[in-house]
Structure 1
Amino acid sequence: MQQVSQAKMQFLAVVIGITLTTLITGGAHLYLAMQPDEDLRFWFLLNGLGYLGLLFMFLLPRFARAHSLIRWIFIGYTLLTIVLWFFLGSPSEGWPWDPFDTTVKTVEVILVILLCLDFRQYVAGAYKRR
């Protein structure tokens, strides 16, 4: 009985972590899309909305059958965002890295780690999804 509740608590902690990190990074991209002097406004808007859309599909029971596919798309989407930052973000400008940018990228790395932990829990059979 103790193991079941511990597995459920770990599952819940991972899902809460995925939710919070996604809201932070999605919100950060939407914030950047609202900046008047931002050249990449449209792309930040799409990126922020993409994060929110993936989060809803990840969490809603309606998409439970495609959960594994959604998880891998989510991981790829986040990794693509990180890689593109090196080419379009502050590292490409040659100036010191912006603290806001690096904080958001750190949150995105944590998101990828949490999504991998979710996969690990799924493979281990530690929980039944929905």
Structure 2
Amino acid sequence: MKQMTLTRIHIGPVQLGIIVCTLATALIHLYEAVQPGEDLRNWFILNCIGYLVLLVAWFLPQLSGFHRLVRYALIIYAAITILMWLLIGQPSEPIGYVTKAIEVLLIIFLVTEDVQDRRHSLSYSAS
């Protein structure tokens, strides 16, 4: 019988920042989706679901072998969300600026985690 080893993800300040930023932007998109008269309702719902799915994938120990790939997907997803807001969104609404600031912060946390993982991998392989 094949045995599967599950690794745990270390939850430090950077990882907590990733969790909080991802949940915050997902919830803001959900909030925007339920606003009356919102033309982009379906896009907001899909964006919320996308963030939540990627967060779960990033967090699941069963997917730890794909952690870096999920991290990159989350970076790209946040960047595309920002770009789409600039192209078709409503940049004059304050909540949009707050959400984009959270998404930029999310990208910073994800890049920071990637740098930390690379340093840890290098120091681990050198010892």
Q: TM-score category by the smaller chain?
A: 0.7 to 0.9
Query: Offset of 1:55 from its aligned partner?
Result: 0.5
- Give the total of aligned pairs: 114
Distance, in Å, in 1 between the alignment partners of 2:73 and 2:16 is 19
Query: Offset of 1:36 from its aligned partner?
Result: 2.2
Q: Secondary structure at the match of 2:38?
A: coil
Moved more, 115-124 or 82-91: 82-91
Correspondent of 2:101 among 93, 103, 106: 106
Runs of 4+ more than 6 Å apart: none
Is 2:66 the counterpart of 1:66? yes
RMSD of Structure 2 on Structure 1 (CA): 1.7
Query: Offset of 1:117 from its aligned partner?
Result: 0.4
Q: Secondary structure at the match of 2:12?
A: helix
Q: Secondary structure at the match of 2:37?
A: coil
Query: Offset of 1:15 from its aligned partner?
Result: 0.5
The gaps in structure 2 that reach 5 residues or longer are: 1-9
Counterpart position of 1:18: 18
1:16-95 aligned at under 5 Å gives the runs: 16-91=16-91
Output one character per residue of 1:66-120: Cα deviation in whole Å (capped at 9) or x when no partner: 00110100000000000000011123xxxxx211110010000000000000100
Is 2:100 the counterpart of 1:115? no
Query: Offset of 1:20 from its aligned partner?
Result: 0.2
**In the alignment, residue 72 of structure 1 is paired with which amino acid?**
Y
Identity of aligned residues (%): 39
**In the alignment, residue 80 of structure 2 is paired with which amino acid?**
L
Distance, in Å, in 2 between the alignment partners of 1:85 and 1:107 is 13
Structure (1/2) with the larger helix percentage: 1
The gaps in structure 1 that reach 5 residues or longer are: 1-7, 92-96
**In the alignment, residue 73 of structure 2 is paired with which amino acid?**
I
